[in-house]
Structure 1
């Protein structure tokens, strides 16, 4: 049974609780009115604000964690087994000069079992194959056969025929074909300014060993030199030209003897691109005119096969020397075609080969085989 005193006590407690609750609500509404009056409600664009700087988000207790960026796939590894001709250069040149950065290029042999591809230079392979990468190779790994010499100057090392997966060569039909092609422009360019010329015909040559196939070009040179003066540089002249003098000297010549040491399909080396780049007319001796025209405009060079003999060629060069308008027509192609600008490294032929192998490995993951490289290369 409830007594009057107990009922009064309960009523008092209810009243005190209600009063406390009312006071709390009063304080809350006062706080909100003060803050809302000083900072109106505005929806801010926080798309460019770092997550830890957004309003209401703590850098330590982020209630809405963002999805981390997707991990970048690892670049495939291309292992350079040996440096061709022991010529070393900075691998970053691939990015600097060719904008190629599609693989991890290395010469660290400890990465052999991880390497997606191994590049082997033919002329560095020992006759007993003892310096080849170890076998068995990882099942995913591809071996690349690098060779830049003509068939005339290629030794058939026994046992290599079916070892490789990919061929890397100047040949147009190689798996990885490396050519310093000229770039066609869609719009006419400004008139090309010829460098000053103080020499008529020039030739830079170091290899005069007839066993390497140079006999043909030496005979042609000797006959041509009887009818027009040829300025000779390099070991044949008694000393090797300094690298920094190569292009300035080449540019000072009206014509350059771009004579290959042997005649084979697609065997067209830097002897063509060098003079085209600096503004000198190449006089070519190599494969057919049709083959040359696959890589350069037909009116940008003179082919020895266009003349019955060296004497007729000499007379034509002397005629062009006195006819500026006719000579300049050999540069009309520059209105629509750009010459390769990589002058700083063009003397080292293996750099573009290795860089383009890196590009290939970065784009092609499929496994393949090159069956009997000799049957193909000597065909």
Structure 2
């Protein structure tokens, strides 16, 4: 049941056009190209639920059924080609008891332990897609939750369909000189009042305690802080909201004036690397990085960044920044990759082998890629079983997503970069551990449960 958006004249529309015309006042039709359904069906019937979206009226599907239990894709129902195999994908929970149901898919931020497809049957597999921050859902940082999943696509390199480089559109962008400002020009701007370091953030009070780090740095060096966190300087008027304009070329040009840019993640977890990490490299500034313990493995070359975790005190970190600032030759050495190219063979191999693309609507994206990975796995097991062989089973663990307890920088002695538990966030982290353990117990007992039963079991685990 593949479909091609079309108008009444049969002219095919690009995806962007399809989205635009949805709001226009003429009827759209889906053209079904599968033998299950044929002809033309008005989109109004499809979207309203008369076709795949109606819980009381589901279509007869012969392909393996995969349900997005958290309605991430908002897809009422479609058959997707994955090479030489097909699967039916839908957000319609009415297919829960379909004879061909194989997998329930979850988007991590929306995963709710009190809203699960229960009771879980032995032949039902679960899939997890979660490329976002661990602070969005600490349930996924516990093994009791992760072992429930059979298929994973996360920022962790050991997930089944890893998305570690999701914020790097093209490795060639790292060597582009489009935004590069020569060091002598940067020095002139500093003499005229530009700060040595830039900080752009509007998500404040995060588990990584990055604002505290910036405050410690500000006691020693000038930092222009844009966004709402520690705000002390405004962006140009047309860039005043960095959340909406962070990919604007003018924003890149503006930030490129700075010699150093703070690249501080909102949470610390292996392989959690976002646009904050890549942006300084794209514009030719030196990043001051705090986040993934494995981030060094993704540098364009050695000695191209400053890592907070390499220092014991804020004074040591500041001295490293100032040392580079005092020498134009040393500064240029840190951005030499702009001239000589990428020296990190591991990064090159990973980007060359990556089958999905970013912001390219004519090529495979990681959502479709992960869906097809799951689909192919299901068909592989169907084929094995048809030959009398046992299916290949997969089960996730903490290597597929789990992240450590949130930590903050110690208050005493002043300037220490030693870390201790970040109490407010740790409370959330520990609460989700009790919830994870309670959910696992109830699932293993074959029970159906909701918020009330889950809370009761969590309390029992915590206090008894």
Q: TM-score, normalised to structure 2's length?
A: 0.48
Structure with higher Rg: it is: 1
Cα pair distance change 1:152/1:336, threshold 3 Å: same
Question: 1:280: Cα distance to partner?
Answer: 3.1
Deviation at 1:206, TM superposition (A): 2.6
Structure 2 matches for 1:178-257, cutoff 5 A? 178-180=163-165, 192-196=177-181, 200-209=196-205, 212-215=206-209, 217-236=210-229, 240-247=241-248, 248-253=250-255, 254=258, 255-257=260-262
Runs of 5+ unmatched residues, structure 2: 1-34, 36-61, 76-84, 232-239, 343-347, 382-391, 405-464
Q: Distance in 2 between matches of 1:191 and 1:123?
A: 34
Q: CA deviation at 1:303?
A: 1.0
Cα displacement (A) at 1:125: 3.0
How many Å separate the matches in 2 of 1:124 and 1:237? 30
Aligned to 2:444: none
Aligned to 1:5: none
Report the alpha carbon displacement of residue 174 of structure 1 after superposing the two structures with TM: 1.8
Partner of 1:172: 157
- Unaligned runs of 5+ residues in structure 1 are 1-70, 90-100, 346-350
The aligned runs of 1:76-225 (5 Å cut-off) are 79-83=67-71, 107-109=91-93, 113=98, 117-127=103-113, 129=114, 131-133=115-117, 135=119, 139=123, 142-147=125-130, 148-150=132-134, 154-155=138-139, 160=145, 162-180=147-165, 192-196=177-181, 200-209=196-205, 212-215=206-209, 217-225=210-218
1:330 corresponding residue in structure 2: 334
Match of 1:358 in 2: 371
Q: Is the 8 A contact 2:159 2:400 kept in 1?
A: no
Q: In 2, distance between residues paired with 1:161 and 1:294?
A: 25
Query: Compared with structure 1, are the counterparts of its residues 135 and 231 closer, same or farther at alpha carbon in structure 2 (3 Å cutoff)?
Result: same
Structure 1 pair 105/251, CA: closer, same or farther in 2 (3 Å)?
farther
Contact 2:311 2:317 in 1 (8 A): yes
Partner secondary structure for residue 282 of structure 2: helix
**Is 1:292 the equivalent of 2:288?**
no
Q: Distance in 2 between the 1:375 and 1:179 partners?
A: 12
Q: Which residue of 2 aligns with 1:304?
A: 308
User: Contact 1:234–1:241 (CA<8 Å) still a contact in 2?
Assistant: yes
Deviation of 1:153 (Å): 6.0
Distance 1:109 1:260 in 2: 36
TM-superposition CA deviations, 1:90-120 (whole Å, max 9, x none): xxxxxxxxxxx99776545556645654321
Pairwise CA RMSD of aligned residues? 4.7
Do the aligned partners of 2:134 and 2:267 also contact (CA within 8 Å) in 1? yes
Q: Which has the higher contact order (CA 8 A, sep 6+)?
A: 1
Give the structure 1 partner of residue 421 of structure 2.
Answer: none
The question of 1:263 aligning with 2:296 is answered: no
Give how far 1:171 is off. Answer: 1.6
Residues 4-56 of structure 1: CA deviation (Å, up to 9, x unaligned): xxxxxxxxxxxxxxxxxxxxxxxxxxxxxxxxxxxxxxxxxxxxxxxxxxxxx
SS of corresponding position for 1:144: strand
Would you say the 8 A contact 1:202–1:250 is kept in 2? no
